[in-house]
Homo-oligomer: A and B are copies of this chain.
Amino acid sequence: ENRARLLINCPDQPGIVAAVSQFLSEHNANIIESNQYSTNPKGGEFFIRIEFEMPDLKEKKTDLEAGFESIKEQFEMEATFKYVDQIKKMAIFVSKEPHCLLELLWEWQSGDLMADISLVISNHETSREFVESLGIPYYYIPANKDIRKEVEQKQIELIKQYDVDFIVLARYMQILTPNFVETFKNRIINIHHSFLPAFIGAKPYERAYNRGVKLIGATSHYVTNDLDEGPIIEQDISRVDHRDNAEAMKKIGQSVERSVLARAVKWQLEDRIIVYGNKTIVF
């Protein structure tokens, strides 16, 4: 593929789009899709995602990035080129409940997730058979809060060994240490089984049931050290009523969790998400 994506954020000012598109045009790039957003045209932050095609992109990557340095400096940009032919590698962490893992594996099998699923790490053996049947390595690392450091040490080694780009917590019911989170900043995607910020923390379906809500939700977000407070990528909900007890809500919610997480991962793979402060821009 000769396709790439350029993600930029910088202080807003006139001339950014002109400079960037001029640069791409001079390099024979054809812009396929472009999205931009500014928090405020006067003194705000500017964001743009440009997807483009360029003949012989593979050989020209170094030149392209080198040539872009001066624009980057001029506008004080954070800018990254992402190349579609560099398939991203992901690790999936899972505990006992397999529904989110299965959804990802399934979409991956049917060609909807353009990624390498490098490995699955779990504190249970539950999903080993199915994962291995797809030719994906499965690592069982028992975990609890007393051995958190040792567990994470093993996880980090595996992730480095497999050269993983990002981690998906597909209902991994363990809290991560600040060290782990820092090591993979903005590279850990979690699915929380509530409509955040409602029901932060444990047992959201039980609490939703006790509160008597009429809708339940799920939230996919990047993990930070503040529990369930990281930048939200996607949310969705489903309707419930008085007949649904906590168990029924959980069943209904699992379907929402699956689709919300799958969308977030897909956007991650398509380089559609820019994290800014505690929010996401999803182009």
Q: Mark A80-91, 1 if CB is under 8 A from B, else 0.
A: 000000000000
Q: Is A22 in the interface zone, CB < 8 Å from B? A: yes
Tell me the minimal C-beta distance from A233 to chain B in angstroms. Answer: 8
B242 and A215 contacting across the interface, CB-CB below 8 Å:
no
B214 and A235 contacting across the interface, CB-CB below 8 Å:
yes
Question: Which residue of B12, B25, B198, B243 is within 8 Å of A18 (Cβ)?
Answer: B25
Q: Chain B: which residue is nearest A236 at the CB level?
A: B215
Q: Is A195 in the interface zone, CB < 8 Å from B? A: yes
Tell me the minimal C-beta distance from A212 to chain B in angstroms. Answer: 3
Q: Is A167 in the interface zone, CB < 8 Å from B? A: no
Q: Chain B: which residue is nearest A22 at the CB level?
A: B18
- Given A21-B21, A110-B99, A280-B212 in contact, is the A34-B36 Cβ separation under 8 Å? yes
A31 and B21 contacting across the interface, CB-CB below 8 Å:
no
A211 to B213 CA separation, bound complex (whole angstroms) = 21
A17 and B41 contacting across the interface, CB-CB below 8 Å:
no
- Given A33-B37, A35-B35, A255-B259 in contact, is the A282-B215 Cβ separation under 8 Å? no
Q: Is A53 in the interface zone, CB < 8 Å from B? A: yes
Q: Is A271 in the interface zone, CB < 8 Å from B? A: no
- Given A214-B234, A281-B242 in contact, is the A251-B112 Cβ separation under 8 Å? yes
Q: Is A38 in the interface zone, CB < 8 Å from B? A: yes
Q: Chain B: which residue is nearest A18 at the CB level?
A: B25
Q: A213-B235, A237-B237 provided; 9 other pairs, C-beta below 8 A?
A: A17-B21, A18-B22, A18-B26, A21-B22, A33-B38, A99-B110, A196-B213, A212-B231, A214-B235
Closest 9 CB pairs of A and B: A212-B279, A18-B25, A198-B198, A18-B21, A14-B30, A17-B21, A214-B235, A242-B281, A15-B25
**Chain A residues within 8 Å of B, Cβ to Cβ:** 12-19, 21-22, 24-26, 28-38, 41, 53, 98-99, 102, 106, 110, 112, 133, 195-199, 211-215, 217, 231-237, 241-243, 251, 255, 259, 278-282
Mind listing 6 A-B residue pairs with CB under 8 Å? A14-B31, A21-B21, A32-B41, A195-B198, A213-B235, A255-B259
